[in-house]
Amino acid sequence: MHEQLIKSIQDKITLSPEEIEKVKHFYIPKKIRKRQYLLNAGDVCQYIAFVEKGLLRSFTVDNDGGEHVIQFALEGWLIGDMSSFLSGDEATYNIEALEDAELLLLSKPSMEDMLHTVPKMETYFRILMQNHIVALNRRVISSMSDTAEQKYLKLMNNCPGIVNRASQQNIASFLGITPETLSRIRKQVAQK
Amino acid sequence: MHEQLIKSIQDKITLSPEEIEKVKHFYIPKKIRKRQYLLNAGDVCQYIAFVEKGLLRSFTVDNDGGEHVIQFALEGWLIGDMSSFLSGDEATYNIEALEDAELLLLSKPSMEDMLHTVPKMETYFRILMQNHIVALNRRVISSMSDTAEQKYLKLMNNCPGIVNRASQQNIASFLGITPETLSRIRKQVAQK
DNA sequence: CGCGGGTTTGATGATGCTCAAGCCCGGTGG
DNA sequence: CCACCGGGCTTGAGCATCATCAAACCCGCG
């Protein structure tokens, strides 16, 4: 049940077996079914979710009712509205399961406890934050300067799992292009 | 010399006068002239710079030699290659002064000292990080779904200082459009 | 069997890029 | 003090990419 979490942590820092046991107990396991929401925009984000299994998306809905996929999360990824979680403000994102999923939830009090009892986890979260910012910066540049095809190919290289498992609509929204354009691109790419 | 810094901190957390004095001493004042570089891509980012006065930009250069402005920083803002600063890896961004500037530099050892002696500064930096992530997410959405004119108008509203002080080339690069397009947009916008 | 969501395919049009020329203005040297 | 240079900004014409709108298609499911 915690394999992915432990792998993710040991990837970045070294913990003793006892520390690992302690860390585990701060997370609450939760299963959630396809199409269920983990968070609704407007609520406060109570939990950061680590994905053990499954696929989720976070997205916003703009004034015209258009959805914009902010992020996908599959096995080994974190998802949540960080800003709402840390500040206690209303969330601006929705989070929905695209597949049946097994999650490990971390509440804010648990997180604080955990950082207190296993201080090395500070480093773990700092690295996650840092990687997230780097990824966001890359995405900004890509969305501004790459063609639709380049964006798609980069996603295929970096996250083949997402391309295979998410619907084209969601992928298109994530890439900032229309589903029709994505369909045509896939056709072209396949012919090579 | 530290007015902007103190304002930025007191905006987010409450410090006693003694704590403020302590904090000040961790920062190294530095003046830098227009066109000077604070950081070259490939070097390690030794300092996070707080801007007391002036205007800077961070940018990448892609394979074709094209520049992409990642960020501007004017009075009261932070600039640096966070990832390089925190991890010690090579920086991917360049940082250049667009105006003569007065900076307050924070090295990594100083930062660690400071967080140790004035723990409330943890919160300050966490809020900065958090705001940064929110801003990046907004920028991603904007760059994917807004027209060039909308992007420009948003920048004008959010950061009039940048629109007034940076060159059109830099603003265009930041917005992900060509200088020609920006020129035409400004003309249209002016006619209202 | 028929419905419905997601995907494909086609035709058309708008937005913004490219390339190219001209202009404005500040700085430099004669 | 003026002429000239050069960088940045403007303006124009043509074009590529991608969005829009619309129709057909595919396939799982009631």
CATH number at residue B16: 2.60.120.10
Q: Is the CB of A180 under 7 A from strand C?
A: yes
Domain-embedded: residue A45: yes
Whether residue B167 is contained in a domain is answered as no
Q: What does the block give as tokens for B92?
A: 């991917």
Q: What is the mean pLDDT of chain A?
A: 94
- Average pLDDT rounded to a whole number, residues A20-28: 97
Q: Do B70 and A145 touch (CB under 8 A)?
A: no
Give the integer Cα–Cα distance in Å for B162 and A4.
44
**Over chain B, what is the mean pLDDT?**
94
> Number of Cβ pairs closer than 8 Å across A and B?
66
What's the pLDDT band for A65 if we cut at 50, 70, 90? confident
pLDDT in tens, B13-22: 999 999 999 9
**Which of these, A58, A54, A56, A49, lies nearest to A91 by C-alpha position?**
A58
- Residue of chain B with shortest Cα separation from A131: B83
SS3 content of chain A, % helix, strand, coil (to 5): 50, 25, 25
Stretch A24-30: mean pLDDT: 97
Number of neighbours of residue A15 by Cβ within 10 angstroms: 17
For A160, phi then psi, to 5°, come to -60, -35
Residue A170 lies in a domain: no
Please state, in angstroms and rounded to a whole number, the distance separating the CA atoms of residues B98 and B74: 10
Crossing angle (nearest 10°) for helices B120-145 and A120-145: 20
Q: In what order do the strands lie in the sheet with B94-97?
A: B37-39, B94-97, B55-61, B67-74
Residue A106 is part of which domain span?
Answer: 3-118
Residue B180 within a domain: no
pLDDT at B62 over 90: no
Does pLDDT of B112 surpass 90?
yes
pLDDT digits (tens, 9 = 90+) for A115-171: 999 999 988 998 898 899 999 999 999 998 899 999 999 999 999 999 999 999 999
**In this complex, do B139 and A140 lie within 8 Å of one another by their Cβ atoms?**
yes
Q: Is the pLDDT of residue A192 over 80?
A: no
* Least confident piece of the model among A13-17, B89-93, B129-133: B129-133
Phi first, then psi: what are they for A93, rounded to 5°?
Answer: -110, 155
In a domain, B147, yes or no: no
Which pLDDT score is estimated for A146?
93
Q: Going by C-beta distance under 8 Å and a sequence separation of 6 or more, which residues neighbour residue A154?
A: A142, A146
- Nearest amino-acid residue to D21, taking CA and C1': A180
DSSP secondary structure string for all residues of B118-157? -THHHHHHHHHHHHHHHHHHHHHHHHHHS-HHHHHHHHHH
Q: Which of A136, A144, A171, A181 is best to mutate for the B interface (most B CBs within 10 A)?
A: A144
**Mean of the pLDDT values across residues A28-55?**
96
> What pLDDT, on a 0 to 100 scale, did the predictor assign at position B19?
97
Nucleotides on chain C within 7 angstroms of protein Cβ: 6-11, 15-20
In a domain, A15, yes or no: yes
Helix (H, G, I), strand (E, B) or coil at B27: coil
pLDDT of residue A160: 94
Q: Evaluate if residue B169 carries a pLDDT over 80.
A: yes
- Using the Cα atoms of residue A170, residue A174, residue A180 and residue A183 in order, give the sign of their dihedral: negative
Residue A12 lies in a domain: yes
The residue-averaged pLDDT of B150-156 equals 96
- Residue B52 confidence (pLDDT) above 80: yes
**Six-digit token pair at A149?**
């095809």
Please name the residue of chain B whose CA is at the shortest distance from the CA of residue A148.
B144
User: Has residue B89 got a pLDDT over 90?
Assistant: yes
pLDDT digits (tens, 9 = 90+) for A46-58: 999 999 999 999 9
Is strand C less than 7 A from the beta carbon of A22?
no
Q: What mean pLDDT do residues B134-140 have?
A: 92
Q: How many domains does chain A have?
A: 1
Average pLDDT rounded to a whole number, residues A12-41? 96
Query: Residue A30 pLDDT > 80, yes or no?
Result: yes
In-domain check, residue A123: no
Residues of chain A with C-beta less than 8 angstroms from the C-beta of B41: none
Q: Do B60 and A141 touch (CB under 8 A)?
A: yes
* Rounded Cα gap, residues B73 and A118, in angstroms: 36
* Distance of alpha carbon B91 from alpha carbon B89, whole angstroms: 6
What integer pLDDT is reported at residue A190 of this predicted model?
A: 87
- What are the C-alpha distances in Å from A37 to residues A40, A163, B190? 7, 21, 45
Q: Which residues contact B192 (CB under 8 A, 6 or more apart)?
A: none
Per-residue pLDDT at B12 exceeds 80? yes
**In the predicted model, is pLDDT for residue B28 greater than 80?**
yes
| A165 CB and strand C closer than 7 A | no
- pTM, entire model: 0.91
Cβ–Cβ < 8 Å for B31, B103: yes
Q: How far is B27 from B102, CA to CA, in rounded Å?
A: 12
